[in-house]
Structure 1
Amino acid sequence: MRITGLFVKSLIAGALLSATALFGSAGTALADETPVPATGESENADGPEAAAPTEAGTSFRTAAAFRPGQTASAEASTGDYLYWVFPADAGQRPTVRATVTLPESAAARKGALTWQVDVYDGLRRRQPCVSGAQTKAVAADADTVSLRCTLRTVRAWAEPWSNDPLPGSYYVRLTVVNAQEEDLGMPVRTEVEAATPGAGGAYAVGGKLSEPLTPGITEASSETAVTASEPEDGWSSGWWTDRWIWTVVGGVLGALAGIAGYTLARPSRRA
């Protein structure tokens, strides 16, 4: 009985020590990854305190960069192609929202307008929307239209032939896709924002992309397209997920189940 008691205590102590070491190392790693600005260091234009852009680009190369949580705006004309870019990292599920306001009165428009928001990754591959109204028509007597596009969860890596979303720059393109010729050129006000909540440990995968997806150098010019700013905690730095918690809990439960099975199955000893 004494040997059995020592065996049980050693298993429980080992499980608790493993859990403590895992959570302790996770906390240390997260603390080490937290950037500490130097004394007197000021935020630059690309830093987390940078203001949201009030203009939009007209192509991938001139896209206006903004961060998730900011609201980018632009004054434009109906028929213009408007571009913005923001960063999305592994384990995040981006959602893009766009609002178009038509300041002109309903009497000035000849018909309904259909607006569309598209999202492209760093390789300029159009990513499908899994939910949300990506395309919507605004009636001739309406003044605003709201669009939304939720992408699939960004993966840490993928096969070369797949179209899975990967960490890097994501480009937003907003434009009208159906309008009468008389309505083209009308002034509009646009607002775009992006949210990148974490999808949780259920979507965590092994592997890691060596570099975030960003456009390469074009053949016609040595200049590259505008890329999104690096996330505040770096690319693919969020290795900690709730999957680790369930792994530790499963290990402890497995150890306890083994102890219970051993206790029930061991032969009884008679004095």
Structure 2
Amino acid sequence: MNRQIFNRQVFNRTRRAMAAALLAGAALCAAAPAAVADDSAPSEAGTSFRTATPVKLGEQATAQGSTGDYLYWQFPAGAGQQVTATATVTLPEASVRSGSATWQIDLFDGLRRRQACASGEPAKRVSRTDATVTLTCTLRTVRPWAERWSNDPLPGAYYLRLTTTDAPATDFGTPVRADVKATAKDAGGAQAGGGELGAPLHAAAVAEPDGGWNGSWWSDRWAWTVGGAVLAALAAVGGYTLTRHPHRR
């Protein structure tokens, strides 16, 4: 066997190994869950925890309300997800407002325990002339389980409450519009494991997330596994090429 034929055979083996590894990676990526948009977005809000309006992740909800009202929505969150809630309030005309006020969103879990924001601006003070205000809150990553004494976020329903504080009494009752959305991203394999919650926390009114309450099988661990397999295949073929000598007649 001459060197040219040998090199061609090695090249073909390398190409087949790379193609197989890439196809495996593509199959895993294609199997990862994808968000599906829903055209029937809610157009109202509840006035208490019990009447909170269910909203799907990624769905834009709207509501008409009044300054001084408490507006409530609820959405699902599964293990391994990091949820960001956003609320934009369209304020009354400056001519009907007496002064500045602070708008605020609060997030609660299914047990109605207030959850701290890991990042974002959950409260802002607006002046009399401001037309809108946008509030954000990113929760800590939802855990698959937690000790009874902890306040860790767990899979289940989460409540978003929107209201204003310290507004002039004469401004109470003036009309406002609220646009809210909750989105989630996978925090990755580093946040997985450690146990599993038997049932979601009071989640009867909201739909189960695409990846399930206890998290999807897909995580960045799979991406690293596939990448490692590709590199291993290339290293094996490369080493074979460097160390093997063609047989000479």
Instruction: Tell me whether the two structures share a fold, i.e. TM-score over 0.5.
Output: yes
Q: 2:77 aligns with which of 88, 93, 112?
A: 88
Residue correspondence of structure 1 range 179-258 to structure 2 within 5 A: 179-214=167-202, 227-246=205-224
What letter matches 2:184 in structure 1? T
* Map of 1:134 onto structure 2: 122
Unaligned runs of 5+ in 2: 1-16, 236-249
Whether the 8 Å contact between 1:91 and 1:155 is mirrored in structure 2 is yes
TM-score normalized with structure 2 length: 0.75
> How far does residue 112 in structure 1 lie from its aligned partner after superposition?
0.2
Amino acid of the structure 2 residue aligned with 1:149: C
Whether contact under 8 Å (1:93, 1:150) holds in the other structure is yes
- 1:66 offset after TM fit, Å? 0.9
Deviation, 1:106, is 1.1
Other structure's SS at 1:202 match: helix
Q: Does 1:71 align with 2:75?
A: no
1:148 corresponding residue in structure 2: 136
How far does residue 50 in structure 1 lie from its aligned partner after superposition? Answer: 6.0
Judge conservation of contact 1:48–1:232 (CA < 8 Å) in 2.
no
Matching residue of 2:6:
none
TM-score normalised by L of structure 1: 0.69
Contact 2:78 2:211 in 1 (8 A): no
Deviations along 1:78-137, one digit per CA (max 9) or x if unpaired, are 01000000111111100000011013x212211101110000011111000011111101
Q: 1:132 to 1:233 in 2, by over 3 A?
A: closer
Q: For CA contacts below 8 A with separation 6 or more, give which structure has more relative contact order.
A: 2
Q: Is the 8 A contact 1:130 1:150 kept in 2?
A: yes
AA of the residue aligned to 1:78: T
Deviation at 1:51, TM superposition (A): 1.1
Are the structure 2 counterparts of residues 101 and 204 from structure 1 closer, same or farther at C-alpha, using a change threshold of 3 Å?
A: same
What is the rounded CA distance, in whole Å, between the counterparts of 2:149 and 2:109 in structure 1?
Answer: 15
Question: Which amino acid in 2 is paired with 1:155?
Answer: R
User: What fraction of aligned residue pairs are identical, expressed as a percent?
Assistant: 55
CA RMSD between the two structures: 2.9
* CA distance in structure 1 between the partners assigned to 2:131 and 2:37 by the alignment: 33
The structure-2 alpha-carbon separation of the partners of 1:249 and 1:72, relative to structure 1 and needing over 3 Å to count, comes to closer
Would you say the 8 A contact 1:99–1:192 is kept in 2? yes
**Structure that is richer in strand per residue:** 2
| Residues in 2 aligned to 1:65 and 1:118: alpha-carbon distance in whole angstroms | 16
- Provide closer, same or farther for how the CA distance between residues 201 and 71 of structure 1 changes in structure 2, counting only shifts above 3 A: same
CA distance in 2, matches of 1:160, 1:50: 39
Residue among 48, 57, 62 paired with 2:46? 57
Equivalence map 1:149-168=2 (5 Å)? 149-168=137-156
Aligned residue pairs total 210
Q: What is the CA–CA distance in structure 2 between the aligned matches of 1:146 and 1:160, rounded to whole Å? A: 34
- The secondary structure found in structure 1 opposite 2:81 is coil
Q: Secondary structure at the match of 1:62?
A: coil
Aligned pairs for 1:100-119 within 5 A = 100-103=89-92, 105-119=93-107
Unmatched segments (≥5 aa) in structure 1: 1-15, 35-46, 216-225, 257-271
Aligned counterpart, 2:112: 124
Deviations, residues 45-101 of structure 1 (Å, cap 9, x unaligned): xx9746111000001110001111111110001010000001111111000000110
